[in-house]
Structure 1
Amino acid sequence: MTLPNKLGRGLRRALRVIGWAIVAVTLYYFTVAVAQHWSQIAAWSPGWQAWAIVFAAIFFYSTALLLLAELWHGLVQGTQDQTFSRALTFSTYSKTQIAKYLPGNVFQYLGRHIVMADHGASQGGLALANILEICTLILVAGLFALIGFTFGAAPHSLEISEVIPIHWLVPTAMVIAILMIILITRMLRAQPNTPSRQRLIYGSLLASIFFLAMGFTLLVLVGLVSGDYDPAIIVIAVTSWLLGYVTPGAPGGIGIREFVLLIFLQAYISEAEALIAIGLFRVVTSLGDLAFFIGGAFLWRISPRVE
């Protein structure tokens, strides 16, 4: 094994350990908060109308995941010599997406490779499609959060500078965006098949709509618990998703997202209400992923034939 390979494996291992440590700390913090407010949480007794809203939120979120499936379908189409049907790409995406809850947070991508390779897809093209999807989601979510906080989405009783030094926020985001754009450009030049500019713009639009839908889901749940429907909650939801997504090894962003949501939501509602809303949000998104998985298994029939 060469020295660069050893260093690369060591770096990946170190990042996973750091990610797991962050997950452990944030889960501990969240668990302690739940224990402190358990009496208030247990006293919350929603009626059947509230549960109907929760079930509707599960359906709404699982349907929104189709946007991400369409994003990946377009990227796959743009990186392959042949054209694959949505029956194949959507089913592959939905049935492997549930693997993000496994430790490591990468098995959904490996699953896509295994399934699509069996149908003749190029491994290099699939790798490019997955990397482009990751970069698109990070860039869109990061831009969403940055614009939201810049134009006043930060909670009125919690300055963003208390969490992240504001004079570092914009330049850091710009540097990361530039580096990702350079990486994407270099990868596109190195591949014989690359998505068109129209596909990338369309994919970014799909990701934007998904994040709006996800944020709206949290907004509805917060309103259900507390009656507060501040639009800034949508930005907070996207920010929590982003930080959970980029944490190495965090399955489904667990712990990270709850921690970020708890920090910001306390500026709008009580801590007990925030804990209830966050718990509902995790249930809705997890069951939404499960419903999406089941839908992919039953609604689409995988066919090796191309369109």
Structure 2
Amino acid sequence: MNNGSWIIVIMSSIKAYIKWIVLGVTLFFIIATFKNHWQAVTEIKINSQGWLLLLLALTVTLFAHIWSAIVWIKILQLFKQSCQYQWGLKIYLVTNIYKYLPGNVGHFYARISAISKQGASLSIASLSVLLEPLLMAAAALLIALLSHSIGLIETTKNLNILFLQCFLLISVLVGIHPFVINRVIHFIKKEKNQDRENIYLQQYPGIILLEEIVFLLLRSSGFILALMAFVSITLQQIPMIVSAFSFAWLLGLVIPGAPGGLVVFEATIIGLLETSSLPIEVVLTTIAIFRIISILAEVIGAGLGYFGLNR
């Protein structure tokens, strides 16, 4: 085994250990928090209005996934891939639950495979699929940084980390420019000795970025509706909750951990909301129920995609 192979093996091992360390630490934090407030949590009751709000939260969360599928179809269209909405909705919604498979990338692999079978090159299929989480991360980071700058939430007290967040946002916004993406495609095709005269991305995906922000607003609205099932929310609290949700969702997306941001999202939003005026026992209950709502919405979406659009 050469030096390069050894490096790959060592890096893979380190990544695996980091993933389990992050998962262990965040899980310990969540368990400890639940333990300290368990009695108060068990005393929370749900009335008929609360169940209606939870049902509404499920509906909004499901619509958020459908909206995300529509945005993904528009990303494919940016790459000049002919994609019918029925096909795109089916592929996205069905593969959405593949993220819970070991490795956390099953949904990406399935979508790349589906696009390739439609006649697209592997490079176009891969870039069109990878562009979606990049835009999602940029949208969440944009919301988090704006919220931090106006004092809605405090994502960090470390100026170096804050600078890193700004650098990452700028890097993503520059990296999704057609000038950069088309040259990546050009390089890949050159390496594979394929035709490299075509320009695949004609415009900056700024509208798509705004639509990813709408996706996050829909997801956070589902969380707020679930929260309202247990406690009254004022209009002044909504921007803070949206900001905290967006930042927690971002960390759940980018930090190695359990599939679907499980545990990382929960630990982050607990840390951000425990200093707010919201009762911690209500926050804990909402987080647990909202995770169930999120998974249920993805399962329903997959069912709609497979049975409702499988014609």
Q: 1:189 aligns with which of 161, 169, 183?
A: 183
| Contact kept? 2:56, 2:225, Cα under 8 Å | no
Q: 1:177 aligns with which of 169, 182, 190?
A: 169
| Contact kept? 2:273, 2:283, Cα under 8 Å | yes
**Corresponding residue of 2:124:** 125
**Corresponding residue of 2:140:** 141
Relative to structure 1, the CA distance from residue 68 to residue 217 in structure 2 (aligned partners, 3 Å threshold; closer, same or farther) is same
TM-score where L is the length of structure 2: 0.86
| Contact kept? 1:236, 1:261, Cα under 8 Å | yes
TM-score where L is the length of structure 1: 0.87
1:241 partner letter: W
Which string of whole-angstrom CA distances, capped at 9 and with x for unpartnered residues, describes residues 265-307 of structure 1? Answer: 11222221111111122122111111111111122236xxxxx
1:292 partner letter: G
Q: 2:157 aligns with which of 162, 165, 172?
A: 165
3-state SS of 2:83 partner = coil
**What's the offset of the Cα at 1:26?**
0.9
Trace 1:126-275 onto structure 2 (pairs within 5 A).
Answer: 126-154=125-153, 160=154, 164-185=156-177, 186-191=180-185, 192-197=198-203, 200-229=205-234, 230-231=237-238, 232-268=240-276, 269-275=278-284
Give, in whole Å, the separation in 1 of the partners of 2:114 and 2:10: 29
Count of equivalent residues: 293
Question: Hey, which bits of structure 1, 4+ residues long, moved more than 6 A?
Answer: none
Relative to structure 1, the CA distance from residue 141 to residue 2 in structure 2 (aligned partners, 3 Å threshold; closer, same or farther) is farther
Relative to structure 1, the CA distance from residue 48 to residue 205 in structure 2 (aligned partners, 3 Å threshold; closer, same or farther) is same
Give, in whole Å, the separation in 2 of the partners of 1:212 and 1:8: 39
**Corresponding residue of 1:157:** none
Q: 2:287 aligns with which of 278, 294, 297?
A: 278
Q: Which runs of 5+ in 2 are unaligned?
A: 186-197
**Corresponding residue of 2:82:** 83
Which string of whole-angstrom CA distances, capped at 9 and with x for unpartnered residues, describes residues 237-278 of structure 1? Answer: 011000010012431111111101111111222221111111
| Contact kept? 1:92, 1:116, Cα under 8 Å | no
User: In angstroms, what is the RMSD of aligned CA positions?
Assistant: 2.2
Q: Which runs of 5+ in 1 are unaligned?
A: 155-159, 303-307
| Contact kept? 2:140, 2:213, Cα under 8 Å | yes
| Contact kept? 1:79, 1:126, Cα under 8 Å | no
Which string of whole-angstrom CA distances, capped at 9 and with x for unpartnered residues, describes residues 19-39 of structure 1? Answer: 222112211221222233222
Give, in whole Å, the separation in 2 of the partners of 1:136 and 1:98: 20
Give, in whole Å, the separation in 2 of the partners of 1:90 and 1:10: 39
Identify the range of structure 1 (23-32 vs 115-124) with the bigger mean alpha-carbon deviation: 115-124
